[in-house]
Structure 1
Amino acid sequence: MTFNVNSSLSYVVNGPTTFIFNIQALNTNNQRVLEEKLEIEPQMNFEQYTSHDGNSRFIRLKVQQPTNFTLTYSAVVEMNYTIIDESNSAKTVPVVELDSYIASFLYPSRYCQSDQLMKFSFKEFGNYGSVYETVVAITDWIHANIEYTLGSTNSQTSAINTITERVGVCRDFAHLGMALCRALSIPARYFTGYAYQLNPQDFHACMEVYIDGNWIIFDSTKLAPLNGLVKISNGRDAADSAVASIFGNAIGTNVYVNCQVTGEYFEPFNYSNNQKGISFQ
């Protein structure tokens, strides 16, 4: 499956400001960037670099003088995903057997206070027969109990805020799901990307959960098919995978995002209780 992805971000800069952007499609074993283009208008010098774990591609831009500018990105991305049958899923890999990278996604983080949600997690989700069933139950609970409302939260909203206020957007749904998984000793990481058939189009966030040696994707918003996602980044939470980080005096004025399939037949895939998951690792 091949996708065309596009994004554009515009800013008014009032004083010296450094920007770090994270909007480029990631190259992975199952996702290949066939072609891409990055432009800044007016033209400015910028630096590109990759995170130490290879899970993010960053653009760093330093603006010294007041100005307006627009960053535009486009890419053609080939996606190959794996359907994983979890009908015979075993218990989660014991923590003692996890390598250091996987184990890092068990810890509480800035937006995922899993240590404060352990009692709730064990009460609500501690009695399922498999890890997959547990994560499906968590995903369904969030979908049923948290109201998805655009503009309802901000960059300070955490999993604790979301479960208390019962409202949020995609990043809040992801943070809460990850926190509940980690509270049950199930590794979970943040996923940000482009999403085909998301309405309205925007950058999208969900979670990947480590089950039986595979990172399987779950989206409690259920707003886009899981096989219509193009990965930008993974991280412990949105602090690692923010689309734009601003250090200085600047205001965002416009965001445009689009993701389309390139003329192929598309059959949407969504997780369900048929015990099949999807992996992009």
Structure 2
Amino acid sequence: MNFKVSCELEYQLNNPATFLFALRCIQTGGQTIQNERLEVNPYVDVEDFHIMSGMNRFSRIRTMNSGNLSITYQAEVDTTFRIVNLSDIPADHASEMNPEGIPFLFPSRYCQSDVLRQQANDLFGHLQGSYDIASGISDWIYENISYVSGSSGETSSAVDTLEQKEGVCRDFAHLGIAMCRALNVPARYATVYAYQLDPPDFHACFEVFIGGWWYFFDPTRLAPLNGLVRIATGRDAADAAVCTIFGDPMLQKSVISCELNDSGFVPITRDSLVTAGQAIALL
């Protein structure tokens, strides 16, 4: 599928500031960037670099003057995904796990899996198999955590979300990751552009590593799983934040868009996957 994604961010600058943006899509084995453009107005130098072994692309912008700063990104991206029958997904025990998944077994800044181990066992310890555990966790979050815009902040963690029983997509993903890791299922965070997300915004989901593939889950169920365009991936939002700011700029405007250039789109949702006995992995 071919998507056109874009974002426009505008800041009010009062003092010198440094921005680390993760706005640009990444190129993977199943995601190809056909064209892209990043513009900054007024013009300042942009330093581009990769971290997390090439998983994330960052743009560093340093500003010295006061006034408005506008950042615009546009890209056309081809994406593919893999549909797998649940009967073909292995149990994948930690003793036999591909090393790629091992770093995502451990606690991280926003996903304190060690703190939540008892709660995870109480809620999901009866489930067998990594995929069933991840599915049970994602479904439980959808059914028990309220999606409330503005209900959390940059310091909110999985523990906070579980206690408060509310959050946004970032919080839903962190709680899913922490619960999965607490039960020895490798899980990671993904920031995406999301087709049919209403209202349009940056979106966050989580993936679990089983049998050499990363399977996708969105506990918010706010967008089709085959309508996601990957921006960044990491242990949690600390690795994949859309913007990290050193200074005191104020965000004045944020406009996000994800449009489909192809026709005949059939949304793949959690319900449709359950009905078909299948899982989805973004490539």
**TM-score, length of structure 1 as denominator length:** 0.96
Q: Secondary structure at the match of 1:266?
A: coil
1:126, CA displacement in angstroms?
1.6
In structure 2, the CA distance between the partners of 1:97 and 1:82, relative to structure 1 (3 Å rule), is closer
- Count of residues in Structure 1 that have an aligned counterpart in Structure 2: 280
Contact map agreement 1:191 1:207 (CA 8 A) in 2: yes
1:143, CA displacement in angstroms?
0.3
Cα distance in 2 for residues equivalent to 1:93 and 1:54: 27
1:249, CA displacement in angstroms?
2.4
1:163 aligns with 2:162: yes
Residue number among 261, 269, 278 corresponding to 1:276 in the alignment: 278
In structure 2, the CA distance between the partners of 1:260 and 1:5, relative to structure 1 (3 Å rule), is same
Cα distance in 1 for residues equivalent to 2:266 and 2:189: 25
In structure 2, the CA distance between the partners of 1:235 and 1:95, relative to structure 1 (3 Å rule), is farther
Unmatched 5+ stretches in structure 1:
none
Corresponding residue of 1:42 = 42
Corresponding residue of 1:265 = 264
Contact map agreement 2:110 2:237 (CA 8 A) in 1: yes
Contact map agreement 1:142 1:177 (CA 8 A) in 2: yes
Cα distance in 1 for residues equivalent to 2:159 and 2:244: 23
Corresponding residue of 2:12 = 12
Cα distance in 1 for residues equivalent to 2:93 and 2:211: 6
1:227 aligns with 2:257: no
- Whichever residue aligns with residue 49 of structure 1, its letter is F
1:240, CA displacement in angstroms?
0.6
Corresponding residue of 1:134 = 133
- Whichever residue aligns with residue 57 of structure 1, its letter is R
Cα distance in 2 for residues equivalent to 1:218 and 1:105: 15
1:106 aligns with 2:108: no
1:90, CA displacement in angstroms?
2.6
Corresponding residue of 1:59 = 59
Q: Secondary structure at the match of 2:239?
A: coil
Corresponding residue of 1:26 = 26
Cα distance in 1 for residues equivalent to 2:128 and 2:113: 21
- Whichever residue aligns with residue 252 of structure 2, its letter is T
Cα distance in 1 for residues equivalent to 2:83 and 2:262: 22
**TM-score, length of structure 2 as denominator length:** 0.96
Contact map agreement 2:98 2:211 (CA 8 A) in 1: no
CA RMSD in angstroms, aligned pairs only: 1.2
Contact map agreement 2:189 2:236 (CA 8 A) in 1: yes
- Whichever residue aligns with residue 84 of structure 1, its letter is V
Cα distance in 1 for residues equivalent to 2:281 and 2:93: 17
Partner deviation per Cα, 1:120-158 (whole Å, 9 max, x = no partner):
111211222322121111111000000001111111110
Cα distance in 2 for residues equivalent to 1:51 and 1:143: 32
Q: Secondary structure at the match of 1:87?
A: helix
Identical-residue share of aligned pairs (%): 42
Which has the larger displacement, 62-71 or 90-99? 90-99
